[in-house]
């Protein structure tokens, strides 16, 4: 008797063929031979699967290398060389429209150009499943520095950003996926692009993340998570108005979403629209009374308005709900500083540091507090620690430049301030900070340029207009300075400081 068995195994685009021949004249040996055949077939299939998996892993690794190279090349194309900022200059911000020359994402095909198999897609989806939990550190509200110092009259930092990365609502969005009602042929690409967007977002590649979420919305215009993360991407790029539009869409889809109300409040706070932001935080608390973060940022709104007592009360409520909420301790510390309670403020900063000593934002805020107290060597130490922990955090570099400038290390200060601009080219604070460094260094023309770039981003900022007027005067352009201050007074007719500055300039011009 002759038995011939041919096995063909195909997996992940890799195939193997094997043949088994068995010949016997003894009928009693047939069961034994059949067992041999089955065992051989099983071994062959196991070998085939193992080889296929190995090939798939190699292809996947190669694809990720290509993706990384592609992203790096795209960034290099954006940043150019030297001191060029990422993307377009701040006066002409990089468009959030993916059609406007944004870097392309890595394709979804194998290295040989063939479409990746279903199993490979499932494997690749795994790397982005938890990326939504790594939400972005938001940029600060637009409170540019004056032309004389980046500190206010009380000797305190004018920065209002207080958002560590681990305090943003941690949401899984498991109950928000609507892909179950979508045909599988459409649901699979949606899941794929969502996972890619999450992965790009987790490493702060907001341009590519934005493109992926927009691709999802083309297939599913009411996808809640895609709108949420698109808004977060815009926030990371300092496109606060665009982010606000996305959060409004979220509320049109789900009016009772506490996260949507909270994030709308954040966008409004970044735009300086504190009354509207307060309404959104309160709406968040109506839906979720235990939301400690909403209490903390409601406290920040009170603090920004000068109501330090009310701000401290809200922060204490937040701490009662969650004693490990770092942002509540940071805002409370700032409330104490604003109220000249220095020791209490430093104690709160130390609590925040104990909770997370490796948080770059906590180090930066502590450094800013020390700078406000003119304890420059200590502030330099904190800022250096911050940029070592996170070299992409622009406020750390900006703070370090401030501290270095006040210790007469101007070359290093300019270098750090330029890095801050490169990391946040669409934020007016980064440009106004560099302008102040140039002004202190005596490079008035460069200071004028940076103030103008900041004003292109935020044309209604009173302090920027006054700072530009003074910088023009120092650069030997009294006519330009007077024109700028006249514009300032026209926009803000009740600002006495601008009127006094204009009067002094006109008297100086008359005497000359």
Instruction: For residue range 304-342, list pLDDT tens digits in order.
Output: 999 999 999 999 999 999 999 999 999 999 999 999 999
CA distance linking residue 16 with residue 9, whole number of Å: 5
Comparing 222 with 82, the larger pLDDT belongs to: 222
- Quote the number of domains for the chain: 3
Q: Name the pTM for this structure.
A: 0.61
Model pLDDT, residue 181: 64
Residues whose CB falls within 8 Å of the CB of residue 384, separated by 6 or more in sequence, listed in order: 400
Residue that is written with structure tokens 């770039």 in the block: 453
CA dist., res. 76 & res. 54, Å (int):
33
> What number is the average pLDDT over the span 217-244?
94
Considering the domain boundaries, does residue 325 fall inside one?
yes
Answer whether residue 69 shows pLDDT above 70.
no
pLDDT tens-digit profile of 356-370?
999 999 999 999 999
Residue that the structure tokens 């944004």 belong to: 102
The string of DSSP letters for 154-203 reads TS-B-------TTSS-----TT---GGGS-HHHHHHHHHHHHHHHHHHHT
| Whole-number pLDDT of residue 502 | 84
**Tokens of residue 171, six digits:** 């949401």
CA 318 from chain centre, in angstroms, equals: 24
Burial of 493 (0-12, 13-18, 19+ CB in 10 A): exposed
Burial class of 412 by CB neighbour count within 10 A (0 to 12, 13 to 18, 19+): middle
Q: Three-state SS for 225? A: helix
Higher-pLDDT residue of 183 and 361 is 361
In this structure, what CATH number is given to the domain that contains residue 302? 1.25.40.10
Q: Is residue 439 part of a domain?
A: no
Q: Of 42, 70, 98, which one is at a domain's C-terminal end?
A: 70
Helix (H) / strand (E) element for 418: namely: helix 410-423
Mean pLDDT over residues 453-457, rounded? Answer: 93
Cβ contacts of residue 68 below 8 Å, gap of 6+? none
Tell me the three state secondary structure of residue 470.
Answer: helix
Q: Which residue has the higher pLDDT, 34 or 321?
A: 321
DSSP 76-96: HHHH-STTPPSSS-TTSPPPS
Q: Mind listing the pLDDT tens digit for each residue in 129-168?
A: 332 223 333 333 333 333 333 333 333 333 334 443 333 3
Under a CB-based contact definition with an 8 Å cutoff, are residues 373 and 342 in contact? Answer: yes
Mean pLDDT across the chain: 74
Please name which of 232, 163, 283 lies closest in space to residue 247, comparing C-alpha atoms.
Answer: 232
Angle between helices 462-474 and 478-491 (to 10 degrees): 170
Q: Which two tokens stand for residue 162?
A: 């207080």
- The C-alpha atoms of residue 369 and residue 352 are separated, in whole angstroms, by 13
Q: Is residue 8 part of a domain?
A: yes
Query: CB of 368 within 8 A of CB of 157?
Result: yes
Strand pairing partners for 22?
A: 3
pLDDT at 496: 84
In a domain, 218, yes or no: no
pLDDT at 73 over 70: no
Residue 35 lies in a domain: yes
219 has a pLDDT exceeding 70: yes
Q: How far apart are CA 493 and CA 501, in angstroms?
A: 13
Query: What distances in angstroms separate CA 196 from CA 121, 190, 211, 232, one per listed residue?
Result: 11, 10, 10, 15
Q: Which of 359, 326, 330 is nearest to 346 (CA)?
A: 330
Range of the domain at 19: 2-70
Q: Is 404 helix (H, G, I), strand (E, B) or coil?
A: helix
In a domain, 208, yes or no: no
Is 197 a domain residue? Answer: no
Would you mind telling me the total number of residues written for the chain in this entry?
Answer: 512
CA distance 199 to 216: 14
Q: Does the pLDDT of residue 82 top 50, yes or no?
A: no
Residue, of 133 and 192, whose pLDDT is higher = 192
């Amino acid at each position: 008797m002759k038995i011939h068995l041919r096995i063909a195994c195909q997996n992940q685009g890799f195939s193997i063929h094997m043949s088994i021949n068995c010949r016997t004249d003894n009928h009693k040996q047939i069961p034994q031979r059949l067992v041999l055949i089955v065992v051989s077939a099983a071994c062959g299939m196991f070998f085939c699967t193992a080889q296929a998996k190995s090939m798939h892993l190699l292809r996947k690794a190669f694809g990720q290398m290509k993706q990384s190279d592609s992203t790096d090349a795209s960034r290099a194309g954006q940043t150019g060389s030297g001191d060029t900022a990422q993307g377009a200059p701040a006066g002409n911000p990089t468009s959030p429209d993916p059609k406007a020359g944004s870097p392309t994402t890595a394709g979804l095909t194998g290295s040989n150009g063939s479409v990746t198999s279903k199993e490979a897609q499932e494997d690749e989806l795994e790397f982005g499943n938890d990326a939504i939990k790594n939400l972005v550190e938001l940029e600060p509200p637009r409170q540019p520095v004056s032309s004389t110092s980046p500190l206010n009259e009380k000797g305190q930092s004018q920065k209002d950003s207080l958002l560590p990365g681990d305090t943003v609502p941690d949401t899984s969005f498991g109950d928000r996926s609507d892909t179950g009602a979508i045909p599988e042929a459409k649901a699979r690409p949606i899941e794929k692009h969502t996972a890619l967007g999450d992965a790009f977002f987790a490493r702060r590649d907001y341009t590519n993340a934005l493109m992926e979420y927009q691709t999802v919305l083309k297939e599913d215009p009411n996808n809640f998570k895609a709108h949420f993360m698109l808004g977060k991407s815009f926030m990371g790029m300092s496109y606060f108005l665009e982010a606000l539009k996305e959060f409004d869409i979220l509320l049109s889809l789900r009016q009772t979403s506490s996260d949507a109300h909270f994030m709308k409040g954040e966008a409004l706070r970044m735009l300086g629209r504190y009354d509207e932001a307060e309404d959104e935080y309160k709406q968040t608390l109506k839906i979720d009374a235990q939301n400690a973060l909403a209490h903390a940022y409601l406290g920040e709104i009170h603090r920004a308005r000068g109501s330090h007592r009310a701000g401290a009360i809200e922060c204490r409520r937040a701490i009662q709900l969650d004693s490990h909420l770092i942002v509540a301790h940071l805002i409370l510390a700032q409330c104490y500083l604003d109220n000249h309670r220095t020791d209490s403020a430093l104690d709160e900063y130390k609590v925040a540091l104990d909770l997370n000593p490796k948080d770059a934002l906590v180090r930066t805020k502590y450094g800013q507090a020390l700078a406000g107290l003119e304890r420059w060597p200590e502030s330099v130490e904190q800022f250096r620690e911050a940029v070592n922990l996170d070299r992409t955090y622009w406020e750390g570099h900006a703070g370090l430049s401030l501290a270095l400038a006040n210790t007469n290390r101007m070359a290093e200060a300019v270098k750090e301030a330029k890095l801050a601009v490169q990391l946040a080219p669409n934020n007016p604070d980064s440009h106004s900070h560099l302008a102040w460094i140039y002004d202190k260094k005596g490079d008035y023309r460069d200071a004028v340029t940076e103030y103008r770039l900041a004003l292109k981003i935020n044309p209604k900022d009173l302090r920027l207009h006054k700072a530009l007027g003074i910088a023009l005067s120092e650069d030997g352009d009294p006519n330009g300075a007077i024109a700028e201050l006249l514009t300032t007074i026209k926009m803000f007719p009740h600002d006495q400081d601008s009127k006094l500055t204009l009067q002094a300039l006109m008297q100086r011009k008359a005497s000359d």
